[in-house]
């Protein structure tokens, strides 16, 4: 049913001091986690390749070792989803509304609805980072896993035992990224933690860990090693209001891999229905959130 006179009955009479219900929205957060890419296809695919491994020792007069194992290993998929919302409002509700400047029939918050929907979809990649999604494909394990396969072994981007956020666990994560991340051939890559992502409940801990010059939580005069170990966290921390766990935390790295692909940007349209005289307003966009390189993130998922 369209928005009609009964839905705005108090807006039909003079005497209202004002109208409430529209609030300042949370600033965009997804674009500080995901790299934006424009898309031309319904399904975008990214292949991870294996390049050459370590060079081998050669004896005098002996043969040179050849590494012919280079080639495609895994393919990561991103299929775009359609996002849409609309509403109808009757001709009488438009004509008789005395407060059009505050409750405008063509602006009932479509932009805000789409913005927050996008934040939820983006955060869902982190919220479900321990669950393997077969539609993404890739290396056959979840985004955050202790067993990402590479030639000859596995690599972890999550601790074996999930740990709470504190000085020791954050330092261990930063060191694990630097020392443990390898390419498909087993060569160490230049990987460094750059940004801490936390839910609102962990913001006080994130502040203490990243904003103090001396070692947090002690009376010692030791320097805060977090600020310089493995290059420090160059981008500090970010609070994401749409994380569902109060305890999970993440480290973004300098390696791209978390992706927001935009197929069709947000657009809006409106028209008057010829038969009913209702004003029809709708919005539409098409995009997807996903990932194509697990080395872009390190996550821990304690339950308490």
What is the structure's pLDDT at 251?
Answer: 98
**pLDDT score of 201:** 97
Q: How confident is the model over 181-210, as pLDDT tens digits?
A: 999 999 999 999 999 999 999 999 999 999
Domain boundaries, the chain: 33-50+72-300
* pLDDT in the model for residue 214: 84
Q: What is the mean pLDDT, run by run of 10 residues, along the chain of 304 residues?
A: 81 80 90 96 94 92 92 95 94 85 81 95 97 90 96 95 96 96 96 97 96 83 88 94 97 96 95 92 96 97 91
Instruction: Please list, residue by residue across 117-152, b when 16 or more beta carbons sit within 10 angstroms of its beta carbon and e when fewer do.
Output: ebbebbbebbbebbeeeeebebbeebbbbeebebee
- The Cα–Cα gap between 215 and 228 comes to 12
DSSP characters for 27-86? PP-GGGTSEEEE--SSEEEEEEEE---------TT-PPP-----EEEEEEEEE-EEEEEE
Pure H helices in the chain: 91-96, 110-127, 167-180, 203-211
**Per-residue model confidence (pLDDT) at position 99:** 75
Looking at residue 155, what is its pLDDT?
A: 97
Alpha helices, DSSP H only, in 167-282? 167-180, 203-211
Contact between 229 and 169 under an 8 Å Cβ cutoff? The reply is no
What pLDDT, on a 0 to 100 scale, did the predictor assign at position 219?
77
| Two tokens, residue 76 | 């990561």
CATH number of this structure's domain 33-50+72-300, picked from the four choices 3.40.50, 2.30.29, 3.90.1690, 3.30.300: 3.90.1690
Provide the sign of the torsion angle of the four alpha carbons 149, 150, 154, 155, taken in this order. negative
Dihedral through CA 219, CA 220, CA 222, CA 223, nearest 10? 10
Q: What is the pLDDT of residue 137?
A: 82
What are phi and psi for residue 165, nearest 5 degrees? -80, 120
Q: From its phi and psi, is residue 243 left (phi > 0), alpha (psi between -120 and 50) or beta?
A: beta
pTM: 0.91
Q: pLDDT tens digits, residue range 7-17?
A: 778 887 888 77
H/E stretch holding 194 reads strand 193-198
């Amino acid at each position: 049913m369209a928005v009609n006179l009964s839905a705005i009955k108090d807006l039909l009479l003079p005497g209202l001091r004002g109208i409430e219900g529209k609030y300042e929205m949370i600033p965009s957060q997804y674009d500080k986690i995901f790299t934006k890419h424009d898309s031309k296809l319904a399904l975008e695919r990214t292949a991870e390749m294996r390049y050459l491994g370590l060079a081998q020792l050669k004896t005098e007069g002996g043969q040179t070792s050849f590494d012919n194992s280079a080639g495609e290993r895994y393919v990561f998929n991103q299929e775009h989803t359609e996002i849409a919302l609309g509403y109808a409002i009757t001709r009488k509700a438009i004509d008789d509304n005395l407060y059009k400047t505050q409750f405008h029939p063509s602006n009932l918050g479509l932009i805000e609805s789409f913005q927050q929907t996008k934040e939820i979809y983006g955060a869902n990649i982190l919220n479900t980072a321990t669950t393997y999604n077969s539609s993404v494909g890739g290396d056959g394990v979840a985004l955050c896993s202790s067993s990402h396969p590479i030639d000859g072994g596995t690599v972890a981007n999550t601790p074996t035992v999930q740990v709470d956020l504190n000085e020791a666990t954050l330092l261990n994560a930063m060191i694990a990224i630097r020392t443990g991340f390898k390419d498909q051939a087993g060569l160490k890559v230049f990987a460094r933690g750059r940004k801490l992502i936390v839910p609102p409940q962990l913001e006080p801990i994130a502040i203490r860990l990243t904003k103090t010059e001396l070692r947090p939580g002690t009376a010692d005069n030791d320097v805060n090693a977090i600020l310089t170990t493995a290059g420090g966290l160059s981008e500090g921390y970010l609070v994401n209001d749409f994380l569902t766990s109060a305890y999970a935390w993440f480290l973004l790295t300098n390696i791209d891999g978390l992706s927001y692909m935009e197929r069709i940007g947000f657009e809006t349209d409106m028209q008057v229905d010829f038969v009913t005289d209702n004003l029809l307003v709708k919005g539409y966009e098409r995009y997807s959130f996903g990932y194509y390189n697990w080395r872009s993130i390190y996550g821990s998922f304690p339950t308490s």
